Structure 1
Amino acid sequence: MAYQFITIPVQGMTCASCVATIEKQIKKIDGVKEVSANLALENVSISYDSDKTSPPEFIEGILRAGYKTPLASSNNKTSSVLFEEVNKRNLLQVWIGAIPVVIFGMFFHDFRPGQYLSFILAIFLMAFPGRYIFKKAWHQLKILTPAMESLVALSTLTALIFSAFTLFIPAMHNGHLWFETPAMIIAFIMTGKYLEEKAKRQSAASLQKLKDIQPTKAKVIRNGKEIELDVSDVQLNDRVLVRAYEVIPVDGKILIGSSHINESSITGEPMPRFKTKGDEVYAGSICQEGALTLLVNKEPSETVLSSIISAVTHALSSKAPAQRLADRIAGVFVPVVLVISLISFAAWMIFQKDGQFTMALTAMVNVLIIACPCALGLATPTALVAAIGKAALNGILFRDGETLEKTATTSLVAFDKTGTLTLGKPEVKDHYVIPENLAELPQWIPVFCAMEKASHHPLAEYVVNYLQQLFPPNEQLAIDHQVEIIPGKGVIYRNLDQVFRLGSLQWLQKEQIEISEEMDKIIEDWLKRAYTLVVFSVNKKAVMILAAGDTLRPDASSCVNALKKQGISSIMLTGDHEVSARVMAQKAGITTVFAECLPADKRKILEDYSSKGQTVLMIGDGINDAEALAYAHISATLGNSTSLALDLSGITLTHGKLLHLPLSIHLARFTRKIIHQNLVWAFVYNVLCIPIAAGVLFPFTGQLLNPMIAAAAMSISSIMVVSNSLRIKKLNLQI
């Protein structure tokens, strides 16, 4: 059964209880496998069986829960802008109305006209600027899922109704009027939410930056005419025209033209690359001169940039373990607060003799207002949104929030050698020719090149290119059917009275090929450098030798050194022979080497380290690493790895830089610290403030907390959590 995945924007989520409400409603729909609402991104991601349900049912569930969603993704940006403008307008209205109420309540509380005006203004504030609070509270109560709005609505209505009775019933004229309480509660709540929304948008700005790289329009040549289309309407094999300084809208090959291409948004390389006919170009890169005609070779939804955006969006839609814990707590938080508020009211009514009703009401209102599920709900997602977005902009893709949390605990990194620590592209490093054979070598080179081509050895292409550049041949020989290939050893070619051999040193030694004393010294030196040797002989005498080897990545040693500074050990796992592995490991700064490993051996080694309490991160690039990547606690790979390695990877370093691995761990650790700070603050705030709001300090101070202060404290707690998460955006990702 194939499940489909969709992300729907949701407007109106304000706290962790809202998240629980939306998830509860959508989980009721038959065919839904998984649902994850994200408070920071204001969306809900759903995995579902398309044979049983469809997006319209999800939209209906969101509306039924009392929230809004744009019906078309094209309206998302407009809706967001309108939402912000409404907030600004409402904020102005609420403060213009609230300030006179506070002045009358605090300084002219016996001024009768002021009392009536305060009543009218309080009604106005609740019915117009603050009406969304009461509408949402009503929806929440209808489906029996109370959230923050329910607490605010209940507390403000209680204060308003009590004050109205006191104002209009003569027998209660001596009672306290609380009109300033609902007025200031609404003012503080709306101000806090406005600032919180701005901060949340900043934390999600990195994802928007990625989306902004992708052009929305493309110039397509069809039937000889240039037309402008939405990028989503471009088809495979279309011809797309890109002019100087324009952003390339699609992935494709250059058919006509050449230009320097700035690919920094995709590869991270600051220097533009010169590309011409036949070269690949990527959506999001910039054509810096001239004009190009491209042949589209990928659907717009499958470009490299689209894949990165999709991976980031999917990562943000998942829940980290810390978030799942916070959501479970939030699911029972509001009902518990309601019970505590009623207990507070009852306790004051029973144990307080003088003015017990006013004090009981104050305590109940304080508890309802000061309790803050918002901070709890924002603690983890705002940090993850900021971290995953920042990572993506720096060439690091985390598969999900859980991977990011695990990465922070890394204690050991296991490196594959070929293609990970090294470039994975062997090259000929040096050559040596017997001096007395130099004159004859030009006539032998075409033979050796033809033998190499016939061998189909992995090094053949590199050896042939090197020989042809060194000794340009006068002719090309075709001797494929005349050579004898000795698998794993070399090639023999017989021509009249001459016998040509090329292959490994060990094989030619067994064939009793004569090697000069000078060549023997050079061979000894090259073997110490872990080079792979190719020996060429004519009639039982070695005439030339080539040294080939892989190249260590430029940042490999810096990566290992940075990991060491982070307190992380490094080991190498490779199928290569011992000498070559140890030479490369020494260059990289790795002291623990496991060579000549089969895929199963790599897994067993990781199992052993894991059993000793190590949290293992494996970084590899090929099929032979798949078993180890699947077993490791965290898996990582470079962006140019095989598709299987990419599928198994929890972290993808899209710019192909090893130094981004310690950067990802640094970011993960900092993010974990921010999440812990946020959660501790959210828990401590509620644990301390709810008893204070209920009046636990009254025996020592002789006063109850002012409800306006409670409202301000609740707003500030959420703003502090989001502001703390924004520190991630300012983190310097440099080693």
Structure 2
Amino acid sequence: MTTTYTITGMSCNGCRTKVEKALNEIDGMEATVTLDPPVATIVSEKSIAIFKLQKAIYAAGNYIISESDASQENSLYSTPIPSEMKPVDLPQSASGKYYCPMFCEGDKVYDEQVGCPVCGMDLVKAPELMAAKTQYTCPMHPEMVQDQPGNCSICGMDLVAIQVAEEEDSAYLDLWRKMKISLIFTIPVFIISMLEMLHNNPLLELMETQKWNWVQFILALPVVFYAGWMFFVRAWKSILTWNLNMFTLIGIGTGVAFLFSVAGLLFPQFFPEEFKHHGTVSLYFEATVVILTLVLLGQLMEAKAHGQTNKAIKELLKLAPTQATLVKNGEDKVISIHDIKKGDVLRVKPGEKIPVDGKITEGESTIDESMISGEPIPVDKTIEDAVMAGTINGNKSFVMLAEKVGSETLLSQIVQMVNDASRSRAPIQKLADSIAKYFVPTVVGIAILTFIIWTNFGPEPAMVYGFINAVAVLIIACPCALGLATPMSVMVGVGKGAQSGVLIKNAEALENMNQVNVLITDKTGTITEGKPSVERVFSSNNEEDNVLQNIASLNQYSEHPLAQAVVNYAKTKNISLMEVKDFEAISGKGVIGTVANKKIVLGNKKLMEQVNASVSDDLESKIIAEQKLGKTVSYVSFDGIAVGFVSISDKIKTTSADAIKELIRQGVEVIMLTGDNENTAKSVAEQLHLTRFIANCLPEDKLNEIKRLQAEGKIVAMAGDGINDAPALAQANIGIAMGTGTDVAIESAKITLVKGDLQGIVKAKKLSQAVMKNIKQNLFFAFIYNVLGISVASGMLYPIFGLLLSPMIAAAAMSFSSVSVILNSLRLRSFKI
């Protein structure tokens, strides 16, 4: 038989080769993998469980295999994410380099702050995603510098860590320097201009108006040709590339005002009388410099906002310690965290931060995990318990084994995820982008039309009114607030989520979470603790120890939580394990193998039917009674005859009931899909007052149920934690992985809950609602400023109210619109989820 599967996660021919090799190592099949399309064609004599295929390719890398339909309409990935909604993923090598915040050139980066060659905007520095390596020096001999702590070779003093000052933002500093220059020259020009409006201008006692006009011209030069010159450069680039933006309007508006003023100063004889006041042409140097200064202020605030956005990443990096204590040959040695390798044994002392991810091998302690999970209550940890980098040890010492180091740690993955998500674009951004595309040409057209109408129908001096109002239209219509509306909210929201243990992969997930109306959830490890324990082993022949020895031996090669529970139970009974042959895991059903020359089968009723094992009525009734108590029961058969069962309980998480109640209150239908039996699933569903449940689910059943719900128009979120959940997580509108689950589940999901309980979903939904509300408020600010501003600036209200808008006030209003958006977005930082 020939079967076709879709493979996701392959990016190059090397990936294709690895996947093909991994699949061909499975006995009884031959696989051919192509990169475009990403498909695996498998030829085999019998059907091979997709779980087995997934396990094989997962060992080769973060690849996901799923069933592929013949038609694209029914394909698992038939609805691709539009490219404009995907995050632009900068490579890790881009850390510390500069990129355009508008991603005009995709993921291209620059070594220096040179300005975007397409739109002219200041480049933004990509944050460092790894903590800087610490160096050590002697307090008495600063020339002594080394990478490791130790003693000074000159005087013997302990070396101390060099405190590296936080790097200043060069773009912000450059703008601040220009801002100071601009203010120094703008204020005098503004004062001179305002005093000219007085009936008894005191300045005229010193010099005549024409000479003061020359003073304004000289003072305006540093503002135009130094502080604000970048705006004209950006405007020119935007016109050449036809990437019209806010700088197009600023450049045209202030450029026209400045050139008009220069011409009026040098060649007043060519201007009609209506442009003159007391014999001299009315000049607009003050409007030019004040507008440029206000726009510069807006740019300065944006640069500050970008710095605050990256602050979340910097704060996360600070969670990691700079050094650790390595235990080697019975001795403790202090080393840099950059020198820690997998398999190293580390000692963590009271009050210290845990350096890397791993597990405790000796001792116990209470650990504060609030900085990762968002939960304030410390967690008790003992031998074999996992610990995470960046969390803080309590008042006891313990020894741990380093299992994940560097970029593999959960903390590093959080940093990477926050960085990627903060650059991604929400679908609602498409609205702003579409408007902005036609906005600038429309505004230029309105400005020209304003000049024509005022010149022909306005009061005298008509041309002066027309000119001033046209410039005001160009200035106030600056779309920078429109461009900031969505990304500012997304950046702040993603950072807020990370601090609360909700990791959001991209802005699309953040927006779609607000629309979710169905939640599909697994049972084991999601609703329940995922730490099952054996309550009872029953044997029809009263040979419980023999049954336990056989099934524990069979389960020693399985990674399933239920299997581990059986093995751990056997250990407490001091039962030795035997060798297993022909072990096979049947996804969603159980395991099969040969122990002591007997074919042992452990699993659910479907597996018993598959292997044709006979089950007595008496045994069946006992199993049903256990299941009605909410226990998970696995049948045990020896050589085709069911001889007993093992009863396992998995405690429901204390947070599950409250979380499900809150989600239902918000109008979300909660459905539990579990591979467990009908009776056990019903018992759990009744305890939690679930809307609906489906028992005896295989991985493909979960996938098909999600497809069915989506076909009905539902927006589906799927919460899971295992490899077998990966296809369903990928198919769901929002895949939500438990942080306590497998890496492949987390890779398939769009949201990861660090703590791994359903309360995290409530947090994610609240955060999504808050961010979307914030974005809509920002867009309202941006639109209302432009609609009202253009109306007033063009003089539409003049016939009714006699109201006009000067270019300077227009520039102030334009800058205030951006400030409003920034301040409103930053409010999310104090939002409680």
Superposition TM-score, scaled by structure 2 size: 0.69
1:94-116 Cα deviation digits (max 9, x unpaired): 66445523532433685443444
Residues in 2 aligned to 1:211 and 1:316: alpha-carbon distance in whole angstroms: 16
State yes or no: 1:456 paired with 2:547: no
Question: Match for residue 252 of structure 2?
Answer: 154
SS of residue matched to 2:737: strand
Residues in 2 aligned to 1:3 and 1:331: alpha-carbon distance in whole angstroms: 35
Residues in 1 aligned to 2:602 and 2:383: alpha-carbon distance in whole angstroms: 38
Question: Match for residue 693 of structure 1?
Answer: 793
State yes or no: 1:312 paired with 2:405: no
> Which of 708, 720, 738 is 1:620 aligned to?
720
> Which of 97, 120, 126 is 1:66 aligned to?
120
CA distance 1:291–1:662, shift in 2 (3 Å): closer
Q: Deviation at 1:286?
A: 2.6
Moved more, 550-559 or 243-252: 243-252
Question: Match for residue 51 of structure 1?
Answer: none
State yes or no: 1:668 paired with 2:759: no
Q: Percent identity?
A: 34
| Contact 1:45 1:317 (8 Å CA) reproduced | no
Structure number having the greater helix percentage: 1
Moved more, 252-261 or 180-189: 252-261
Q: Deviation at 1:700?
A: 2.0
Gaps of 5+ in 2: 1-9, 14-83, 129-165, 270-275, 581-594, 605-611, 638-642
Q: Deviation at 1:382?
A: 0.7
> Which of 589, 603, 611 is 2:711 aligned to?
611
State yes or no: 1:190 paired with 2:296: yes
Residues in 2 aligned to 1:158 and 1:698: alpha-carbon distance in whole angstroms: 23
Q: Which amino acid aligns with 1:190?
A: L
Q: Which amino acid aligns with 1:714?
A: M
1:131-182 Cα deviation digits (max 9, x unpaired): 4333433444454544323322332333334334445556453433333322
State yes or no: 1:321 paired with 2:427: yes
CA distance 1:72–1:119, shift in 2 (3 Å): same
SS of residue matched to 2:120: coil
Q: Deviation at 1:271?
A: 4.3
Residues in 1 aligned to 2:343 and 2:645: alpha-carbon distance in whole angstroms: 47
| Contact 1:396 1:653 (8 Å CA) reproduced | yes
Residues in 2 aligned to 1:44 and 1:236: alpha-carbon distance in whole angstroms: 37
1:326-725 residue pairs with structure 2 within 5 A? 326-352=432-458, 354-429=460-535, 447=546, 449-456=548-555, 462=565, 466=569, 484-488=598-602, 510=616, 526-532=626-632, 547-725=647-825
1:645-690 Cα deviation digits (max 9, x unpaired): 2222121111112111022112112211222222233233323322
| Contact 2:231 2:247 (8 Å CA) reproduced | yes
Q: Deviation at 1:305?
A: 0.9
> Which of 213, 216, 222 is 2:319 aligned to?
213
1:325-381 Cα deviation digits (max 9, x unpaired): 322332332233223222222332333463122112111111111112101101110
| Contact 1:104 1:118 (8 Å CA) reproduced | no
Residues in 1 aligned to 2:671 and 2:340: alpha-carbon distance in whole angstroms: 47
Q: Deviation at 1:70?
A: 7.7
Question: Match for residue 120 of structure 1?
Answer: 218
Residues in 1 aligned to 2:399 and 2:168: alpha-carbon distance in whole angstroms: 32
Q: Which amino acid aligns with 1:101?
A: I
Q: Which amino acid aligns with 1:62?
A: C
CA distance 1:243–1:620, shift in 2 (3 Å): closer
Question: Match for residue 66 of structure 2?
Answer: none
CA distance 1:445–1:725, shift in 2 (3 Å): same
1:199-210 residue pairs with structure 2 within 5 A? 199-202=305-308, 205-210=311-316
SS of residue matched to 1:576: coil
Q: Which amino acid aligns with 2:184?
A: Q
State yes or no: 1:134 paired with 2:232: yes
State yes or no: 1:89 paired with 2:180: yes
Q: Deviation at 1:558?
A: 0.8
1:11-50 residue pairs with structure 2 within 5 A? 42=101, 44=103
Question: Match for residue 59 of structure 2?
Answer: none
Residues in 2 aligned to 1:570 and 1:647: alpha-carbon distance in whole angstroms: 23
Q: Which amino acid aligns with 1:732?
A: K
Q: Deviation at 1:209?
A: 2.5
CA distance 1:711–1:65, shift in 2 (3 Å): closer
1:274-313 residue pairs with structure 2 within 5 A? 280-288=386-394, 296-313=402-419
Residues in 2 aligned to 1:396 and 1:718: alpha-carbon distance in whole angstroms: 29
1:264-283 residue pairs with structure 2 within 5 A? 264-273=370-379, 280-283=386-389
CA distance 1:295–1:464, shift in 2 (3 Å): closer
SS of residue matched to 1:571: strand
CA distance 1:646–1:57, shift in 2 (3 Å): same
SS of residue matched to 1:618: strand
Q: Which amino acid aligns with 2:673?
A: L
CA distance 1:593–1:68, shift in 2 (3 Å): closer
Residues in 2 aligned to 1:73 and 1:731: alpha-carbon distance in whole angstroms: 25
1:568-621 Cα deviation digits (max 9, x unpaired): 111122222211111001111203122223333333333333333322212122
Moved more, 178-187 or 95-104: 95-104
CA distance 1:692–1:3, shift in 2 (3 Å): farther
Moved more, 327-336 or 141-150: 141-150
| Contact 2:526 2:756 (8 Å CA) reproduced | no
Q: Deviation at 1:252?
A: 4.5
State yes or no: 1:250 paired with 2:356: yes
Question: Match for residue 497 of structure 1?
Answer: none
Residues in 2 aligned to 1:240 and 1:45: alpha-carbon distance in whole angstroms: 46
Question: Match for residue 5 of structure 2?
Answer: none
| Contact 1:621 1:638 (8 Å CA) reproduced | yes
Question: Match for residue 158 of structure 2?
Answer: none
Q: Deviation at 1:192?
A: 3.5
| Contact 1:44 1:317 (8 Å CA) reproduced | no
> Which of 187, 193, 197 is 1:106 aligned to?
197
Residues in 2 aligned to 1:691 and 1:477: alpha-carbon distance in whole angstroms: 83
Residues in 2 aligned to 1:467 and 1:418: alpha-carbon distance in whole angstroms: 21
Q: Deviation at 1:190?
A: 2.9
CA distance 1:401–1:241, shift in 2 (3 Å): same
SS of residue matched to 1:614: coil
Residues in 2 aligned to 1:211 and 1:588: alpha-carbon distance in whole angstroms: 39
SS of residue matched to 1:596: coil
Q: Which amino acid aligns with 1:450?
A: Q
Aligned length: 663
| Contact 1:243 1:290 (8 Å CA) reproduced | yes
Q: CA RMSD in A?
A: 4.5
CA distance 1:509–1:127, shift in 2 (3 Å): closer
Residues in 2 aligned to 1:245 and 1:669: alpha-carbon distance in whole angstroms: 37
Q: Which amino acid aligns with 2:501?
A: G
CA distance 1:216–1:90, shift in 2 (3 Å): farther
1:223-255 Cα deviation digits (max 9, x unpaired): 9996765x5565555676765544334334567
